[in-house]
Amino acid sequence: MNIAPTSDRHITLYDLQRMVRTTLESRFTEPVWISAEISELKVNRTGHCYLNLVEKGASDGAPRAEARAVIWRSAYLSLASMFEAATGSELRAGLRVLVRVVVSYHELYGFSLQIIDIDPSYTLGEVERRRRETISRLQSDGVWDMNRELELARPTLRIAVVSSRTAAGYQDFMNELCRPAYRFEVTLFESLMQGDAAEQSVIAALSAIAERESEFDVVAIIRGGGSTSDLALFDSYHIALCVAQFPLPVFAGIGHDKDVSVVDMVAHTSLKTPTAVATKLVEMVDYELTTIEGYAADIATLVERYMHEEQMKIYTLGTDIERLANSFISNEQNRLNMIKSALNSRIELIFSLEHQRLTEAERALESYSIDNILRLGFAVARSGDRALKSVDDGHVGDSIDIELYDGSIGAEIKSVTPKKR
């Protein structure tokens, strides 16, 4: 059918649609292989699988081509099973696939593709390509080694966990931490671990932890296994960039059996399973405790040695003090004895001199006694009980007694003659 060149020679919409259909069917007589990304995927209750395929621009990621596709029930079960067995992941949105399609066009439903075959190796290769791009980009950004260079807190007891609360891996992690008698402080920042929203959920959880950085010693990102495609979440550039630049050491226990994710590569410490992460944390505290016990034992040994040395010093000082004290006492005793001897000699001399002086004084006193004086021929004139010392003490006519050595004579004063001066 020819296309009408003018308005008076028009064709109907149906005719145009038939022309398009005929052209496509004549051009695509055989199925073709195409690559595209699955943007939507739904399996209805009848078992048919309806997809939306998209081709995005390399620079901005905006769709530049889009088409509806379908896998009829008769082929879907076998294709989905084969794909999952080869890739470890079920068909889902977000995967880039290489599919063999029959190009079709319907007057009512328009352009569509019927998928009759799929090449799993292409999807695996695409995942690896993206993974390598992520690694190269992180290395170019200069963040590849940042998290591994962080120092771990000692001891590491305050743990922020990024996981799903209901995940078996999280339960295994907690059970392992509860086994020893250590007081781990575990705070769960719940996150999706699969699905389209998982990437943003993990990043949101890490951002929440970063806002409370001072409350934690380490971050544990754990997931209890899964398919290769599911675990490709941790090859995400944005998650890996967040982990690489995270201000706290990150422990990854994502559950890979064979492959290592990009998050494993940039994390401070990577272990195979959540249980292995918990075991590592326990071992780190064991090491700290053993180290402290070793320090305690060394301190006790040093203190004991120091005490023994000080006791020996004290014993030696005590011996020296006793010896010096005895020597000092002996010297002082000798000095006191010499002083005593000198004092005794001095006292004896003083006593002798004083005795001699007293003897002489006694002799002098005896020489001045009235009897001795009277023996020398002197006499004492007394008027009553009073001795006459001067001619003025007596008067003519007074009766006096004259005391002599061997007695006394009564007399009367006849005259008084003063001594001429």
pLDDT, tens digit (0-9, with 9 covering 90-100), for 35-59: 998 989 999 999 999 999 999 876 6
Q: Are the C-beta atoms of 39 and 52 separated by less than 8 Å?
A: yes
- Residues 293 and 163: their CA atoms lie apart, in Å, by 34
Question: If you compute the radius of gyration of the chain from its CA atoms, what whole number of angstroms results?
Answer: 65
Q: Is 156 helix (H, G, I), strand (E, B) or coil?
A: coil
pLDDT at residue 365 tops 90: no
Interacting residues of 266 by C-beta distance below 8 A, sequence separation 6+ = 138, 143, 144, 146, 147, 148, 240, 243, 244
Cis amide leading into 63 (omega within 30): no
Q: Are the C-beta atoms of 156 and 184 separated by less than 8 Å?
A: no
CATH of 7-118 among 3.30.420.40, 2.40.50.140, 3.30.70.260, 3.40.33.10: 2.40.50.140
Q: What pLDDT was estimated at residue 211?
A: 96
- Helix or strand holding residue 314 (H, E): helix 274-367
Task: Report residue 15 as tokens.
Answer: 């005719």
Task: Report residue 27 as tokens.
Answer: 């051009």
User: 262 in the Ramachandran plot: left (φ > 0), alpha (ψ -120 to 50) or beta?
Assistant: alpha
110-118 and 96-106 beta bridge pairing: antiparallel
Comparing 123-127, 212-216, 249-253, the range with the smallest average pLDDT is: 123-127
Q: What pLDDT was estimated at residue 181?
A: 80
* pLDDT tens figures, 165-219: 988 889 999 999 988 888 999 999 999 988 778 899 999 999 999 999 999 999 9
> DSSP assignment, residue 4?
P
Show me where the domains of the chain are located. Answer: 7-118, 132-286, 372-412
Instruction: Specify the higher pLDDT residue, 215 or 377.
Output: 215
Q: What pLDDT was estimated at residue 257?
A: 61
**Closest alpha carbon to 378 in 368, 366, 364:** 368
**Closest alpha carbon to 67 in 116, 104, 30, 27:** 104
Most confident by average pLDDT, 119-128, 233-242, 405-414: 233-242
Q: What kind of fold does domain 132-286 have according to CATH?
A: Rossmann fold (3.40.50)
Count CB neighbours of 273 within 10 A. Answer: 21
Give the chain's mean pLDDT.
88
Stretch 404-411: mean pLDDT: 85
* pLDDT tens figures, 217-246: 999 999 876 655 567 789 889 999 999 999
Q: Is 389 helix (H, G, I), strand (E, B) or coil?
A: coil
- Residues 124 and 209: their CA atoms lie apart, in Å, by 33
**Closest alpha carbon to 192 in 183, 180, 200:** 200
Stretch 342-347: mean pLDDT: 90
Task: Report residue 123 as tokens.
Answer: 């999807």
255: Cα separation from own chain's centroid: 30
Q: What pLDDT was estimated at residue 59?
A: 66
User: 403 in the Ramachandran plot: left (φ > 0), alpha (ψ -120 to 50) or beta?
Assistant: beta
Q: What pLDDT was estimated at residue 310?
A: 92
- Residues 216 and 78: their CA atoms lie apart, in Å, by 49
In terms of pTM, does the model score above 0.75?
no
* pLDDT tens figures, 292-308: 889 999 999 999 999 99
pLDDT at residue 273 tops 80: yes
Side-chain-side CA neighbours of residue 264 (13 Å): 20
218-222 and 110-118 beta bridge pairing: unpaired
Interacting residues of 304 by C-beta distance below 8 A, sequence separation 6+ = none
Q: What pLDDT was estimated at residue 50?
A: 95
Residue whose pair of structure tokens reads 């934690």 in the numeric block: 216
pLDDT at residue 157 tops 80: yes
pLDDT at residue 360 tops 90: no
Stretch 102-113: mean pLDDT: 90
Count CB neighbours of 122 within 10 A. Answer: 16
